[in-house]
Structure 1
């Protein structure tokens, strides 16, 4: 994994921070402008994540230090196409996850439908956890997954996460909470 100030590079992917201007264009539904700003083609599937971008923009307004933890485009560099999204929900150690331990961060991810089942999500998740550990010393990671999302449940299980809770999310409904402690 290589990193610049705004991009994490894996063998097949770039995980590029989506800056506020590109996020505003996405929120306005202007994927062409956002894509030009980021140097990629953005699939219309991204419009399904409007609430995620609103949440991220609110996080940045409330806490400018959230920036490196915010939304990143998952990009196939050879095709210059965005195939998904990954982000941490907050900076590490927000109070709401203290029950699962200190020095923890929660993340979420999605790979667009036409790019699933190729290992991209696994590669992106591993890179984000490595980045957080190497750059900030974070070793505990949380992921909340719908019990109906068999692909994500398989991914999280294969990465060594253990189920530690079940919660009812106001937006997403029932979610299983998984924890991984990196050694």
Structure 2
């Protein structure tokens, strides 16, 4: 697979696709091997994100075309240090259960505590949105956010995401669903 699918480069970050080997090493709690394969340090906090990696494995078994949308490490370019995780919850949804999901991808991100409020989430989201638009012609993006997560709500609104729905996630509870349609905003 070409490099443009594996690494998304922004001014300060490399957003690197984990791939099967790194994912499996993390799921086996083998950070040393995962770090060697990723070519970056990975903090123990990364192991709190195993649910995302397990979801990736399930989705890849069901649909191998999901690969470029799977979990990515957010790396500080100058230090090659993992500062978070980001992923799309699915490939673009063509047969969606709700009209606002048609042709959209939902993204989720987690910036580790020491790196929050420094603009890394904004840079990551912008990098992913631009990458999806350029390489896959995706222009509709969804984020689901807990009503208590005020920084993420503020960030979504600053990008122009508009509240579209409310759902109850079986793990996270009540979430507000926001949609950004870049074709409407151009």
| TM-score normalized with structure 1 length | 0.95
Deviation string for 1:23-82 (max 9, x for gaps)? 011111111210111010001111111111100111111111100011111000211100
1:155 maps to what in 2? Answer: 155
Which structure 1 residue ranges, 4+ long, deviate > 6 Å from structure 2? Answer: none
Please report how far the alpha carbon of residue 94 of structure 1 lies from its aligned counterpart in structure 2 after TM superposition.
5.2
Task: Figure out how many residues of one structure are paired with residues of the other and give that number.
Answer: 181
2:33 maps to what in 1? Answer: 33
1:61 maps to what in 2? Answer: 61
Matched, 1:122 2:122: yes
Aligned-partner SS, 1:4: helix
Aligned-partner SS, 2:108: strand
Unaligned runs of 5+ in 2: none
| TM-score normalized with structure 2 length | 0.93
Contact preservation (8 Å) 1:17, 1:71 = yes
RMSD over aligned Cα, in angstroms? Answer: 1.2
Q: How does 1:1-183 map to 2 (within 5 A)?
A: 4-93=4-93, 95-96=95-96, 98-182=98-182, 183=186
> In 1, distance between residues paired with 2:29 and 2:96?
32
